[in-house]
Amino acid sequence: MGRLFGTDGVRGRANADLTPELALALAVAAAHTLAETDRSHPPLAVVGRDTRASGEMLEAAVVAGLTSAGANVVRVGVLPTPAVAFLTAEAKADLGVMLSASHNPMPDNGIKLFAAGGHKLPDEIEMRIEAAVETNATTAWDRPVGAGVGRVHDLLDGADHYVQHLVGTVPHRLEGIKVVVDCANGAAAEVAPVAYREAGAEVIAIHAEPDGLNINDDCGSNHIEALREAVVEHGAHLGIAHDGDADRCLAVTADGDEVDGDQLMAIIALAMREAGTLTQDTLVATVMSNLGLRLAMSAQGIRLIETKVGDRYVLEELRASGLALGGEQSGHIVMPAHATTGDGVLTGLHLMARMAATGKSLAELASVVTKLPQVLINVPVGDRTVGAAAPAVRAEVERAEAELGETGRVLLRPSGTEPLVRVMVEAATEATAREVAERIAALVRTASPAAS
């Protein structure tokens, strides 16, 4: 068996790669690994899902696994991933389980696990759970019987509780803001329009009729064309796009221009610094964020810390350093004062609050970041480690970095899952970025030719 956990839980094609049997085994292992060592009371787990049809099947398997391990389960139904994390913390549960493949197509699904407090798992805990599944340790644990078997309860007002929490964080009412929200026919469909309306905005919801099969289908944060058209058609001030489990937020201006996660982070960072809530005047982002974000923050006196790719690493840095804001270019924005994970609806609320407070358009606010042209080349290789570390490749990277100076950068990153080396170059012009990227890519191919 290969590595189960990726950068965001266990993910695969539902009922093929991610089977009910695997879901059950993961649930048993998670219950034994994450539950409190004090067994004077049964462990408690919160379980939620997005709108995928396969979520019903996998939910049944996960609940069976948890209860067979003696855990009591609170099912919260269809809710965003950050809502499940929030309710896990609110219920003082030992663990939370979210069934979602986020922005992936409908046939995929995933299992995201949260520890007590609603926090994502560190690598060490994931490895312990994975080892238990791979060695069939889940069949060796003593199974409770009689009154020791876990019980299942349904929480019917979880969405209301979560919306109240979100709206309570908004620093400025949203009256006067007209927004189109693309719910991706996913977990945002119920809560996002309600949260935005309760905060004062005029809301037009699109792709908010999930049927189990249409999640992320030409909609949401991966397909914003329809959102662009709807914003212009309705004369809205902005559009907001969520993904299937609503932990992402991207936006479009009144003219339909995309505003990515880097620009959203910059807007919120400046608002928080003005309010005195941007701890240490520091923002956390990944190495994939555009150099334009770093330059913009530096010009504003805000320090930028970079992490590896993946919102989990942003979260780890935020927690380790006690910081208040971080995120990814893809739209995962984390505000630890209000959420333990990326929360797309929370981001949308605070973005619109900044617009309402300043009276500025989204385009004007987003203009603080001037994005540098970026070229990414995925180079197929025989050995991704050799291709990235070859002396000729490293020498060329150093030469390119010297050429670009502070006006650009080079990022060479072996893929974590495929035989690829990713060559990313940013420069003052796209022509320069492409020339440098192609030069480095050619050396990577020579250093480790792809298998024929």
Eight-class DSSP state of 77: E
154 touches 77 (CB < 8 A): yes
Q: DSSP for 2-27?
A: ---EETTEEEEEBTTTB-HHHHHHHH
Cα–Cα distance measured from residue 265 to residue 238, given in angstroms and rounded to the nearest whole number: 16
The active-site residue out of 54, 68, 100, 102 is 102
In terms of Cα–Cα distance, which of 164, 207, 202, 199 is closest to 182? 207
In terms of Cα–Cα distance, which of 276, 274, 275, 242 is closest to 261? 242
Q: How many CA within 13 A on the CB side of residue 218?
A: 2
381 touches 442 (CB < 8 A): no
Angle at 87 between CA 210 and CA 162, to 5 degrees: 60
Q: Which tokens hold the place of 142?
A: 């003593």
In terms of Cα–Cα distance, which of 192, 218, 215 is closest to 205? 192
Q: DSSP for 86-126?
A: HHHHHTT-SEEEEE--TTS-TTEEEEEEEETTTEEPPHHHH
Angle at 217 between CA 214 and CA 218, to 5 degrees: 145
401 touches 409 (CB < 8 A): yes
User: Is residue 218 annotated as involved in ligand binding?
Assistant: no
User: Is residue 243 annotated as involved in ligand binding?
Assistant: yes
Cα distances from 43 to residues 72, 83, 91, 352, in angstroms, run 6, 20, 12, 39
Cα–Cα distance measured from residue 30 to residue 69, given in angstroms and rounded to the nearest whole number: 9
Question: Is there a catalytic annotation at residue 361?
Answer: no
Cα distances from 328 to residues 82, 138, 234, 252, 290, in angstroms, run 16, 36, 29, 17, 10
User: Is residue 245 annotated as involved in ligand binding?
Assistant: yes
In terms of Cα–Cα distance, which of 422, 429, 394, 426 is closest to 409? 426
Cα–Cα distance measured from residue 219 to residue 241, given in angstroms and rounded to the nearest whole number: 8
User: Is residue 255 annotated as involved in ligand binding?
Assistant: no
Torsion angle, CA of 77/82/87/89, rounded to 10 degrees?
150
Residues carrying an active site annotation: 102
Detail the residues annotated as belonging to a binding site for Mg(2+): 102, 243, 245, 247
